[in-house]
Amino acid sequence: MFDFCGTPTIETDRLILRKLCLDDTQSAFDHWLSDERVSDHRVSPAHKNVAETKVRMEKVVGGYDSKEFCYWGIELKDGQVLIGEVDLYDFNPSTGNCEVSYSIGYNWWNKGYGTETLKAVVKFAFIHMNVHKLSAAHNTDNPASGRIMEKAGMKQEGIIRYMIRNAKGQYKDCAVYGILREDYVGEEEGSK
């Protein structure tokens, strides 16, 4: 059984994972949602105007009314700049499994922020929410995302051909990763 506790603030060495608010709309639009380089690795297309982002942010902010909603903005501690988002979703109560996804703005790629974010959310899922298995997927043409997943303890479980179709109508193969609670707890105990 999941122990839902909503979206509490999570701090890492360099980041604060926090609830998004409507005041974040412009930053989300500017930093990742309107950027084709980021959206090429997402299912949804780049936003063409800030009004699209406002609608999306209203939906996210409205979701915080539920304890089963786990959706964070990724903010740099230094400068308080919002650089991306991460969420847990597709909770399956019969298996205790769920999925995680994340997006980081292009200006912050290859700086370790994705790894730091995913490690924090993996820890939260297993330690605080009692998740049994956490899964994620990335387009095979985005191997950097796979490296982030591996650094967070996830293992590649396979490749699904034409798993998604992006905003340009292109089908993309995806590598699927997963980590079990028992593997995570075992790794944590082994590192002590």
Phi, psi of 182 (to 5 degrees): -65, -35
- Position of tokens 């992006």? 166
- Write out pLDDT tens, residues 112-148: 999 999 999 999 999 999 999 999 999 999 999 999 9
- Give tens-digit pLDDT for 6-36: 999 999 999 999 999 999 999 999 999 999 9
Q: Domains for the chain: give ranges and CATH numbers.
A: 10-190 (3.40.630.30)
Q: Report the SS3 class of residue 124.
A: helix
Residues 103 and 95 sit within 8 Å (Cβ to Cβ): no
Strand pairing partners for 181? none
Neighbours of 163 (CB within 10 A): 16
